Chains A and B, each alone.
Chain A
Amino acid sequence: MIGLDGRRVAAVARKEIREYRRTPFIVGAMLVLPFVFLINPAIVIFLLSAAIKPAVVAREVGSTFLVLLIVPAVIPASIAAYSVVGERDQGTLEPLLTTPVRRGEILIGKALAPLIPSVGIAYLLFALVVILAHFFAKNPAVAPTLSDGSHILAQALFAPLLAVWSIGVGTAISARSSDVRVAQQLGTLASLPPLAVTALVSFQVVPLGVWTAVGFGLGLLVIDIAMWRVVAALFDRERLITGSRAVRTTRVGPGDSVGPGGVRRIRA
């Protein structure tokens, strides 16, 4: 975006990350939830016997792949859903909005803070699963299927795009919500629909290849852009402070204002 000040964006992101670090719930959710999600499918693919056919292996790997993508979709959603309504709740939103910071700078700063750790965790988990599969999977087809180029490309593209959607929808809900808990629940729910797109690939409804990954990635990019346009429109100073947008009806020129030394009884 044009006219954005990197120092302000970094300041907002740094503030958010500092707050996360001192909130045990957020740190705990980021560290524990991904592993909880992953335990069952990982065990299933690692225990697939060597006799199982490659087609079955591909299906099971596909479901693990989907679970890996839930992580960047779900984790940032509840954090983003807290980002605006939480500030309003603790009274910090108004001081923030009284500064020269632009709407885009706040939004990007607030988005970067959950995006970087969520995508980082998603990549780390994927790498971990691939490495563990190489050493511990009983079926020799599991590791090559997981580390196939199209899988890596899909993971590389889908994880950030799902996270960007999830943060956008969470921020949009947060900007319009007056209750932190409702915002977080709705944010988590609203982060899930794009997973349906990736599920088509995971469950091999659409065979995964490089061009499929790129095509689906572009599709996600388009809906991400549309979502962030909505978020930007919702992130209006007046709406955030009062809950409604300004309607300016007339503009009157300077009139009979009172000078510094004068006294005027406006109404008897």
Chain B
Amino acid sequence: MDAVLLSVSDFVDLTNQTLEYAYPVVQVEGEVAEFKVIQNKWISFKLKDDGAVVNCFASVYQMRTPLENGMKVIVVAQPRLNNKGFFTLNIKAVKPVGEGSIKKGFELLKAKLEKEGLFAPERKRPLPRAPKYVGVIASTESAGYADFIKIINERWGGLKVEVAHTQVQGLPAPDQMIRAIRYFNGLDELPEVLIIIRGGGSAEDLSTFNDEPLVRAIAESRIPTLVGVGHEVDHTLADMVSDVRAATPTNAAQIVVPDRNEIIRSAKAQANSVGQLLTQAIDNYSRQTHDNLSAAFARIQEKLETTYERLHTLRAMAAQLNPENVLQRGYALIRGEQVIGAVLEVETYKTIITTEVKDVRAK
């Protein structure tokens, strides 16, 4: 059979059709080399391993995590032969793989967002103490979500919880969560808090929460955000950019609602404290009344004592004026006219003498 004669253009088109049919999308793992940003719009790099190298091409907007030479990544791409005869992988998505590359991607994006001030403490908004309506973004099939709901129900009641079920790992997860964030932010009645939760997982699973568009969507949320991803030791850019970080989904539930038992205890304690204040007030009034009565009694006592003292003085003075006392001291009282021959009566303390006046002289 003769080979088909094709023009160069037809050959390129036919090759691309064949590639599209055989490999509409491929995932290729390799190391990034010769990474370049062209006119701030395009990105090109080579993906290599020990045996081969392939050109990769993407727009800046398709890059959800910063790349650097040496990083190990998986690219999701469409293989193409371009008009200049170069075979390329047209990138749809890139994600770092392996602990070192994930960490590198995390650090690069963290530095970029930090420079923009997205983690600044002054951007953080407080959460209401006891919200009535919250939005939750989670996989409703996950253990983290089950823990969250269990703790919410144990701790609080009367809360309206609207849950957006999304994937929380894998390539589609960030976009799903971004749509859910936009959904809640577009509601007529906004939830008071938007909670994003996911239980523990590998560094690769949790790297979903280091996706740049997702992190930016959390930062732009009109609704204050609470993010609880992984375990205590796991840190993601999503929780760093949120208004409040929870260590785990359980911790997110503890943060978002108060503990009803604590509130009941506090209310009872307040009522008791009012009782104590009342008893204390009654004691104060009693003490004051007692003090007033004591003061009045002391004043009366003092007045009485002064009066008794005065009476005693007057009595002593009166006693001194009593003629009997003068007679007792040896004096005598004489009655009668002081003329010669008159009869006088002389009264002493113990006797009364009658006598006659013999002489009267001036002294």
Do the two shown chains form a genuine complex with each other? Answer: no
